[in-house]
Amino acid sequence: MAKIVPQILLLFSIFLFKSTFFYAQDFDVACRTAQPFCSDASRELTFPNTIGDIDGLGEIGCLNTTPNPSWYFIRIDQSGKLVFNIQQWVDTDGDNILDRGERQLDVDFIAWGPFNTSFIVCDILSRGCDNNGDGDNIRPAECVNNVDDLLYYTENQDNTNIVDCSYARTPDDDIFTETFTIPNAQSDEYYVILITNFANEQGVIQLQQTNLNEQGAGTTDCSILEPGVGPDIATCGEFPVTIEGRFPGNPPDVPGAVSFRWARADVGTTNFVDIPDPEGMVPFLEVNTEGVYRLSGYNALGAQVPDSPDELVVLDVSAAVVSVGYTIAEESFAGSYTITAQVVAAPQIEAAGFDNFEYSLYRNLGNGFIEYRSYQSSAVFSNVPPGDYFVRARYANCPDSEERSEIIMILGYPKYFTPNGDGFHDTWSLINIENQPTAQIYIFDRYGKLLKQLRAGGPGWDGTYNGKNMPSADYWFRVEFNEPRDPNMRRRVFAGNFSLIR
């Protein structure tokens, strides 16, 4: 390690010199200062704005000027549409809340994406638009203010990686809230946002999602605010997977990491082996195999920083489900039932603590099994009527891992039948009694007169007695059977009623 530190320090010194000295001029390194941002129901973050750089980065996209640029990035958690309000104000009382009487500041922005990591080469951020889509003469002059054309960026009429861009036409417009829209964000995508401070006054910036909990809304991932490499990654056989992390420290007192080292171990072991990284500067990695990946961060003196090292597990979950079982809470003839799915996971999946399974329920309605309850995170299906079912289970969002249970046969009885010869509900019999040959089934009229004794698995009752049609009325039944929910199949008796409708 000691032999490598001087090289890392040299690289960092060059990088730090460029990103500091040329901050106001060099677009190609400016976005490296981007800070993680998120907005969800539990937290709305605000950050100090930038002042003292009135020249900024010049003309970019729809922004004729970019004074006091501040850079942020977001990561998408749940896919969908995201709409944000961007505001900037003089936070007089320092509570990070826009209070009545606090003065708002003119704020403009431009955003790019999607990217598979937040650590990008800034030059890939388009500085202009290409309205005819020919790839030539990409100019800021072609870019449109989203206030003037709401569809220009959402329909990608700019033909670049600019996602949205907006500015108040003049400082006198008194427009202090900009709207930033990502129409169809996908999980794990990154977006980079540049926000300017035209007023050159000290204040705070807030990027707040306004369509949370609306139908079709996506969400941002707040785990990027935590130091380290983030949560474990389940991949459905898709490689490479990009992982990244950061150790920001707490400047100026506790410096963050400026150089990094990756190491890998097999899942279930701690035998980490360093992964060669000739640059040692960028804390993201494309991985092509399962494993435990460890990121270490070092400050400018080569010392390991707080929260370092940190690690995550990358696992292929395409064979995560070994088998699917079930339990039923209620005994037979309860009327409605609670089915709880039970997954036996592959040993490696279980050992790593990966447990994000989802479940669906299929029902046979007479013409084969169809989906009765779509995939859900809960293994419990409530208020299930009697009939034939099976459960499908898979690791979340991984169709390749899907397995199903055996057929679930729940005893029950129809509440009515209509013996009119149309081929539907013409006879009455118990549901799923055919596997109990010793069952005894009796049908009575309202006075207790025995009308019919049925055989388990037989054709059922056609609504007649001694060859004559019985009238529309309620009838009673009594069944003696072995309880399938009981491991010992104890003998039970159940009685109920049903309707004959003509």
* pLDDT digits (tens), the chain, 502 positions: 222 222 333 333 333 333 333 334 478 888 888 889 998 876 678 889 999 988 899 999 999 999 999 999 999 999 999 999 999 999 999 888 899 889 999 999 999 999 999 988 899 999 999 999 999 889 999 999 999 999 999 999 999 999 999 997 655 666 689 999 999 999 999 999 999 998 899 999 999 999 998 999 999 999 898 999 988 999 999 999 999 998 987 766 788 888 899 999 999 899 999 998 765 567 889 999 999 999 999 998 999 999 999 999 999 999 999 999 999 999 999 999 999 999 999 999 999 999 999 999 999 988 899 999 999 999 999 999 999 999 999 999 999 999 999 999 999 999 999 999 888 899 999 999 998 999 999 999 999 999 999 999 899 999 999 999 999 999 999 999 999 999 999 999 999 999 999 9
- The full set of domains in the chain, from first to last, is 34-223 (2.60.120.380), 233-316 (2.60.40), 321-410 (2.60.40.10), 416-500 (2.60.40)
Predicted confidence at residue 171, as pLDDT, reads 55
Q: For residue 160, what are the contacts with CB-CB under 8 A and spacing of at least 6? A: 126, 128, 129, 130, 138
Predicted confidence at residue 5, as pLDDT, reads 29
Geometric angle at alpha carbon 270, from 321 and 263, rounded to 5°? 100
Residue for token pair 């397995």:
403
DSSP 299: -
Q: For residue 2, what are the contacts with CB-CB under 8 A and spacing of at least 6? A: none
Considering only CA atoms, which of 500, 502, 492 is closest in space to residue 414? 500
Amino acid symbol at 452: K
Q: For residue 214, what are the contacts with CB-CB under 8 A and spacing of at least 6? A: none
Predicted confidence at residue 27, as pLDDT, reads 84
Output the 3-class SS for 210-244.
Answer: CCCCCCCECCECHHHHCCECCCCEEECCCCCEEEE
Alpha carbon distance 256, 273 (integer Å): 24
Q: Is the dihedral of CA 380, 360, 232, 281 positive or negative?
A: negative
Q: Cα–chain-centroid distance for residue 501?
A: 49
Helix (H) or strand (E) holding 311: strand 310-316
Predicted confidence at residue 29, as pLDDT, reads 83
Alpha-carbon separation of residue 116 from 71, 113, 189, 253, 306 (angstroms): 17, 9, 5, 32, 26
Alpha-carbon separation of residue 247 from 94, 279, 281, 344, 434 (angstroms): 26, 17, 13, 37, 65
Q: State the pTM of this model.
A: 0.75
